[in-house]
Every structure is written in structure tokens, then in C-alpha cells.
Chains A and B, each alone.
Chain A
Amino acid sequence: MQFPLSLTDLSLWLAITAITLLATSELISPYYGQTNLLIEKRKLRKAALAIGILFMITVAIRIYSIITTP
């Protein structure tokens, strides 16, 4: 028994999710007049940024492994 996804798979998934969430949080921003959408937009943005940061971490891990591998 092992988790079937590799770091590359996770990285790709995180990237797609982060882009989707960031685009959504931008499009539903109150700056575009969306003041009657009943969701916590700031929380959505935070979640999007958190997933974006997770993606960057996976990228950093991959870069590190490339550099350190002889």
C-alpha cells in the first residue's frame, strides 16, 4: 500500500488548483461589483494563496533534488 501520486503529479494538481482558485477569487472580487456573493472572498483568496505556496514548495523541492543529485 502506497500513495499512488508522485511529487510531480501533486505539483501539477496543486498548480492547476491554485490557478483555478486564484482566477476565481479575482473574478468574484468586490472590485468587479460582486458584493452580493455570499462567500468569504478573503478566505477563498487565502486558500488560493496557500495552495499556490504549496505548489511553490513542491517546485523548490524538485529544484533542490535536481541540484543535489550528482
Chain B
Amino acid sequence: MKIPIKPLLFLILILVATVSAALSLNLLDLVVQGTLYSFGLQFSYEWAYPYWILLRTTQFLLGLISTVALLGTVYSYKSTSKKTFKPLLFTVAILTTTISAAYTLTRLDQIVHGQLYFFGLRFSYEWANPYWTILRAIQASLGFIVIVTIANTILPYTHYARKKQVQALKIKPTIKIPKTPRLISIPLLSVGALALTFSVIYTSSILAFIGLGLTLWGALLLYITPIHYVKKDLLNSSLISSLSAIDTLITSLDYQGKGIYMPPATLKEIKGGAVFIPAAKSTSLPSAEEMTEGKVILHNPNGIRLVPPGLELANLLEAEMKTDFTKVDLEYLQNNLSKALIEDLETVEDFEMQTDGNSVHTKMTRTIYNDLYKKEGLQNVCLRIGCPLCSAIALILTRTTGKPVIIEKVQFNKNQDTVEADYNIKEA
């Protein structure tokens, strides 16, 4: 039978931490009940009773942590075949016990550093230094238990959530599925808030730092969680059908011309867009009247008028850049389009744009639409009117220049994973 390593590792770590904490507690007791008598401490049941009660309680809580961890491991080992593994109960139990142990330890420290001075104890670094070292060691062990417990709870949950998402999608993931940051952030926030509260109650700067750190990262993870997530496969799958329909249409009509992106002046609305594919290899344009009529099949010259695949992407880029493309120039695009494409929308890894008179050359590395170029049957669309990204850039160019734009050449380099496109700005 294959024994799962992770629960065992968790148990070993917890046991090591509790044993080291228990040993350190015994050393602490030796300092208090041995060394301190050499520094003037007088024995009295007044301080000894609460001290012993707190010492025994801390020892009992350490034992309880080990027992709960052991039970949790046995439970997780037994339920590995089941899908509904819920270690949250054990986590809460261990965390509560650990925090209680930390509390009793603080009370113990208060007795030593408070009450014992009334029973003849004189302060000296000779006993205080080893005492503080041992106390910090116990606190570090307790902190370690908290961290290991939280990590042990989060890992199976994220693994389970990931498995469920993959099963729901029924397809192999090509990029990382989010590891449910909310599951991490909520325990972090809760423990952080608790630590901050205790830091105020017991005036502990260590607890305050722990609390601040945990609260910050909990809040941060909650804040930076993606609002919406769409798989790349899903994006391409939904695009292929519509692009394939356009491709079939162009092929069946046997239209030879390259797509001409029409300027906003020839359209009904400024945020709209139209690409005209002439029947012949000419670049003569239809009249503005014919374009504004909204017909699909045009006769003067013969051709077809389509909504470009990158129309909404162009509008989205306009919104992201908080600008109006009709009011900017090519230089502005050259300086700012790369930021919007790379940083804001994360559609490409690298983007270059060069202008030379009426020609514009773009080079995009690893676009999210690269797979479309590898797909059979989409060549007509991708090479004549461009992929959604090339189409969006053509639309942006036509809005900026106010002139028709033709995608002269689209070249996909499989080895470098780049798409290079040449646009020609046609004089109206």
C-alpha cells in the first residue's frame, strides 16, 4: 500500500515542534524553579500554584496539539480515496490549541517577570538571558506549528479545487489554474487579525509584526485575485467557428481582394468598423453612400462588407488607453500601443511598431491568437483581414489616420512564435 507522504511529513513536523517546545518548557521550568532561587527568590504557594497550573496547562495543550495532529493524519490517510477530504476541523483545533498555549505561556511569563519580584527575585541578565532565549524558542516552535498547519490545510484544498476545475472543463489545462487565493487569504486574514488583537492585549511586538504581515498578505491575496478567468483554449475554440464562417464565405464567393478597413467617416457610428473585401484584386473603394447603407454585398465595386473580427478588441484598447483614436496620431500609437497590448491586456509578450510613410509594420511575439494561424482552414481570414489582433490594429490605424487601411501581408513565424503584419494606409 502506498503511504501518502504529505500527511506524514506534516505529522513529523508538528511532533518535532511540540517535542522541542515541551523540552524548552522543561528547561524554562528548571530556570524558574532552580536558578532563580540563587537570585533571591523565596518559595511561596502564592506564586507557585498559578505557576504550576499554567505550566501544566501549557504542557497539556502541547500534548493536545500532538494528539490532534496525529488524529488528523490518520483521518487524512483514511480518507485519501474519498474526494471530500476536509481537514479544516483539525486545522481549527490545532490553531486554537496553539494560540491557547501561546496565551498560557504569556501568562507564565507575566508571573515570572511580575509577581516573582514581590518574592525577593532580583533582576539579572545572568538568568534573564537564558530565560528569554528559551521563551523565544517555545514561541518560535508554536509559530512554526501555526505555519505548518495552515500550509497543510491550504495545499489539499487547492489541489482539490484544481482537480474539480479540470474535471469541469474536461480539457487539459494549458496554463496554470488559479490556486484559489481566497482559500489562502481568509485564514491568513483571520490569524493575522487574531495576532494583532493579542499583540494589543499582551503588548507583544512580535505578535504585532506577525499580525501585520499575515493581515497584509491576506488582504493582498484577496485584492489581487483575478476577477474573471478564461482559458486560452476556450477563447480560441469560441473564435474558430465565427472566423471559419467568414473564411468559408470568402472562399465560396471566390473573392480575390485583400481586406480594406474603412475609415470612420464612411461608417454610421464612430465606434463601429467595417472591412471591405473586393471581388477582384483591385483596391478601388466603394462609395461612402453605399457603405453607410449597411449592406453586406456591395456592387460598385463588387465585394463584401463585413464586421471586422477585431472591432471589439479595438474598442477595448481605446477604453484601456483612455483615449480617442480619431484624435491621436501615429506617433502616439507607436509610443503607447505596446503598453496597452503587453501590460494592460496581456495579449502579447512583445510588440513592435514601425512606420514608414504610408506603411506600418508590426511585430507581435507570442500573441494569444497564435494558435489561429496554426489552424487549417483559417488562412483566408488570417491573411486577408487578419487575426482579431491584426484586425484591431488595422481598425486603430484607420481611426487614427482617417484613411482606409489594407493588411498587405501577414506572416506567422512558427519557430519564433511571432506574427508580422504590414499595413498600407491608402489615400482616400
User: For residue A37, which residue of chain B has the nearest CB?
Assistant: B176
Cβ contacts under 8 Å, B229 to chain A = 38
Q: Is the pair A4, B223 in contact by a Cβ cutoff of 8 Å? A: no
In the complex, whether B216 has a CB less than 8 A from a CB of chain A is yes
Question: In the assembly, what is the distance between CA of A40 and CA of B343, in Å?
Answer: 11
Cβ contacts under 8 Å, B366 to chain A = 33, 35
Question: In the assembly, what is the distance between CA of A33 and CA of B351, in Å?
Answer: 11
Q: Which of A8-58 contact B (CB under 8 A)?
A: 9, 13, 17, 21, 29-31, 33, 35-44, 47, 51
* Of the residues A4, A13, A29, A36, contact of B203 by C-beta under 8 Å: A4
User: For residue A3, which residue of chain B has the nearest CB?
Assistant: B200
In the complex, whether A2 has a CB less than 8 A from a CB of chain B is yes
Q: Is the pair B349, A35 in contact by a Cβ cutoff of 8 Å? A: yes
In the complex, whether B130 has a CB less than 8 A from a CB of chain A is no
User: For residue A9, which residue of chain B has the nearest CB?
Assistant: B205
Cβ contacts under 8 Å, B199 to chain A = 3-4
Question: In the assembly, what is the distance between CA of A47 and CA of B217, in Å?
Answer: 11
Q: Is the pair A43, B223 in contact by a Cβ cutoff of 8 Å? A: yes
Cβ contacts under 8 Å, B348 to chain A = 35
Question: In the assembly, what is the distance between CA of A33 and CA of B365, in Å?
Answer: 10
In the complex, whether B225 has a CB less than 8 A from a CB of chain A is yes
Q: Is the pair A13, B212 in contact by a Cβ cutoff of 8 Å? A: yes
Kindly name the residue among B201, B203, B223, B224 whose own CB sees the greatest number of chain A CB atoms within 10 A: B224
Q: Is the pair A40, B203 in contact by a Cβ cutoff of 8 Å? A: no
Measured as residues with beta carbon below 8 angstroms from the partner, the interface class of chain B is 20 to 34
Q: Is the pair B343, A31 in contact by a Cβ cutoff of 8 Å? A: yes
In the complex, whether B3 has a CB less than 8 A from a CB of chain A is no
User: For residue B368, which residue of chain A has the nearest CB?
Assistant: A35
Q: Is the pair B205, A4 in contact by a Cβ cutoff of 8 Å? A: yes
Q: Separation in Å of the A59 CB from the closest CB of chain B?
A: 18
In the complex, whether B50 has a CB less than 8 A from a CB of chain A is no
Known A4-B199, A4-B203, A4-B205; judge A36-B224 contact (CB<8 A): no
Q: Is the pair A47, B220 in contact by a Cβ cutoff of 8 Å? A: yes
Q: Separation in Å of the B108 CB from the closest CB of chain A?
A: 19
Q: Separation in Å of the B178 CB from the closest CB of chain A?
A: 5
In the complex, whether A1 has a CB less than 8 A from a CB of chain B is yes
Cβ contacts under 8 Å, A67 to chain B = none
In the complex, whether B26 has a CB less than 8 A from a CB of chain A is no
User: For residue B223, which residue of chain A has the nearest CB?
Assistant: A43
In the complex, whether B19 has a CB less than 8 A from a CB of chain A is no
In the complex, whether B208 has a CB less than 8 A from a CB of chain A is yes
Question: In the assembly, what is the distance between CA of A51 and CA of B207, in Å?
Answer: 20
Question: In the assembly, what is the distance between CA of A40 and CA of B204, in Å?
Answer: 34
Question: In the assembly, what is the distance between CA of A5 and CA of B209, in Å?
Answer: 8
In the complex, whether B346 has a CB less than 8 A from a CB of chain A is yes
Cβ contacts under 8 Å, A42 to chain B = 343-344
Q: Is the pair B200, A38 in contact by a Cβ cutoff of 8 Å? A: no
Cβ contacts under 8 Å, A3 to chain B = 199-200, 208
Q: Is the pair A47, B200 in contact by a Cβ cutoff of 8 Å? A: no
Q: Is the pair B343, A30 in contact by a Cβ cutoff of 8 Å? A: yes
Question: In the assembly, what is the distance between CA of A5 and CA of B207, in Å?
Answer: 10
Q: Is the pair A44, B216 in contact by a Cβ cutoff of 8 Å? A: no
Known A2-B200, A5-B208, A40-B227; judge A35-B346 contact (CB<8 A): yes
Known A30-B342, A35-B349, A36-B176; judge A17-B205 contact (CB<8 A): no
Q: Is the pair A2, B349 in contact by a Cβ cutoff of 8 Å? A: no
Question: In the assembly, what is the distance between CA of A40 and CA of B203, in Å?
Answer: 36
Question: In the assembly, what is the distance between CA of A17 and CA of B224, in Å?
Answer: 16
Q: Is the pair A38, B342 in contact by a Cβ cutoff of 8 Å? A: no
Question: In the assembly, what is the distance between CA of A45 and CA of B276, in Å?
Answer: 42
Q: Is the pair A1, B201 in contact by a Cβ cutoff of 8 Å? A: yes
Cβ contacts under 8 Å, B428 to chain A = none
Cβ contacts under 8 Å, A29 to chain B = 343
Cβ contacts under 8 Å, B176 to chain A = 36-38
Known A4-B203, A30-B349, A47-B223; judge A36-B208 contact (CB<8 A): no
Which A residues fall within an 8 A CB radius of B?
1-5, 9, 13, 17, 21, 29-31, 33, 35-44, 47, 51
Q: Which 8 pairs from chain A and chain B are nearest by CB?
A: A4-B205, A35-B346, A38-B178, A36-B175, A39-B224, A33-B349, A4-B203, A40-B224
Additional A-B contact list (14), CB under 8 Å, known A30-B343, A35-B349, A51-B216: A1-B200, A4-B199, A4-B204, A5-B212, A13-B209, A17-B216, A33-B349, A35-B346, A37-B176, A39-B224, A41-B224, A42-B343, A43-B224, A47-B223
